[in-house]
Structure 1
Amino acid sequence: MSDDIAYPVFRTPDVVLALGAARRLMEFGRCEYSEVSVCAMLGSVAEVRRVAKALPAALFRGHEEAWEFEGMSWEEHPALVLGVRGPDLPSDPSAYEGRLPVECELRDLPVGSIEDAFTAAIGSNSGEINWEHLAWPDAPEAGFHGESKHAEVTLLLNTGTRDLDDRTDEHTVLVHVRSSSFGGRQMREPYAHWLAEQVGLAVIGPGQRW
């Protein structure tokens, strides 16, 4: 079993530039089975309803406290906690009490099918676009074999962390590689540098673990 580590390679307040940089990196590793997923955290009922109109196929799932429904059957859970599509969101504002932020997500879609619409819809909410099932090539001059298990690109929107809980006015592109640590040092960090350099980017900060 192995884990990944994601290095920031580009940061800007311009979402168009951020999306372009992320796509450039993603295309370097894209293959026939690559997919994209998106996720956003929505902090108000008004934002939930606005985004639902823009992304009606998205799944919306409300916040729940740990052990809140322990011992209860699935039928007893509120629909918003289990997850509903945009058209099925509750119309009663009281249904959102204690359920914010609401997570909005679309998963495992074809590359190019959702990125523009999601970027246009997210507004000031924090979220991410994640391209996975990529295939990083060999880098013989750097001494690294290619990989696919941990080959991903993430665009963080209005946040600086993969937890989506650090609200910022900037967007950050992350390149993922396999985590391989020895003596506290990430042995595959140079591979992340190499990958970024192939598309005109550069590692600009420490790696993030999920």
Structure 2
Amino acid sequence: MSDDIAYPVFRTPDLALALSTARRLMEFGQREDSDVCVYAELHSVAEVQRVAKELLEGWFRGQEEYGEFDGALLEEQPALVVGVKGSGLPFDPAAYDGRLPVQCELNYLPVGSIEDAFTAAIGPNRGWINWEMLRWPDAPEAGFNGESKHAEVSLLINTPTRELDEYADDHTVLVHVRSVCVDGREIREPYAHWLAEQVGLTVIGSGHRW
């Protein structure tokens, strides 16, 4: 079993520029079966309902208290807790009591099918786009074999962390590679630098565990 580590390679307050830059990096490793996942956290009823109107096929799921539904059948639980598409979200604001923040996600979609709609809908909320199933090429001059298991590109929106636990007024593009740590040093970090350089970018910070 192995893990990946993601290095920031671009940061900007311009979301359109961040998206186009992430796409340029993603396209460097894109394959026919590459896919994309998106995720956001929505902290108000108004934002949940607004985003749902724009992402009707999004999967929305609210919070629950620990042990709140222990022993309850699935059909006895609120639809918002189980998860519901945007088109089926409740209208009554009372249905969201204790359920915020609401998570919104769409997973394993074809590349290019959701990114524009998602970035148009996300507004001030925190979230991310993750392109998966890429293939990074060999870099023999740098001494690295290519890889696919951990070849991904991420765009963090309105946050500097994947956990979405901090707000930022800018957006960060990250390149993923396999994590190989020896004596506290990531020995494949130079590969991340090489990948970034192939599309005119550069690593601008330390790696994020993913």
Fold shared per TM-score above 0.5: yes
Provide the aligned length of Structure 1 versus Structure 2.
210
Offset at residue 5 of structure 1 (A): 0.6
Match of 2:179 in 1: 179
Match of 2:154 in 1: 154
Match of 2:48 in 1: 48
Question: Which residue identity does 1:111 align to in structure 2?
Answer: V
Q: Secondary structure at the match of 2:160?
A: coil
Q: Distance in 1 between matches of 2:118 and 2:92?
A: 25
Match of 2:85 in 1: 85
Question: Which residue identity does 1:74 align to in structure 2?
Answer: L
Q: Secondary structure at the match of 1:38?
A: strand
Report whether the alignment pairs 1:189 with 2:189: yes
Report whether the alignment pairs 1:14 with 2:14: yes
Q: Secondary structure at the match of 2:204?
A: coil
Q: Secondary structure at the match of 2:200?
A: coil
Question: Which residue identity does 1:51 align to in structure 2?
Answer: V
Q: Distance in 1 between matches of 2:135 and 2:196?
A: 14
Offset at residue 75 of structure 1 (A): 2.2
Q: Distance in 1 between matches of 2:25 and 2:65?
A: 37
Larger CA deviation: 197-206 vs 70-79: 70-79
Q: Secondary structure at the match of 1:172?
A: strand
Q: Secondary structure at the match of 2:208?
A: coil
Offset at residue 16 of structure 1 (A): 1.1
> How high is the sequence identity, in percent, across the aligned residues?
72
1:132-171 paired onto structure 2 within 5 Å: 132-171=132-171
Task: Provide, for residues 81-137 of structure 1, a one-character-per-residue CA deviation record: whole Å limited to 9, x for no partner.
Answer: 110001110111111011111011111111011111111110000011110000000
Offset at residue 77 of structure 1 (A): 1.9
Superposition RMSD in Å: 0.9
Match of 2:110 in 1: 110
Q: Distance in 1 between matches of 2:6 and 2:166?
A: 16
Task: Provide, for residues 18-62 of structure 1, a one-character-per-residue CA deviation record: whole Å limited to 9, x for no partner.
Answer: 001100000000000000111111010000010011110100000
Gaps of 5+ in 1: none
Q: Distance in 1 between matches of 2:66 and 2:193?
A: 39
Offset at residue 67 of structure 1 (A): 2.9
Report whether the alignment pairs 1:72 with 2:66: no
Question: Which residue identity does 1:105 align to in structure 2?
Answer: E
Q: Distance in 2 between matches of 1:66 and 1:13?
A: 37
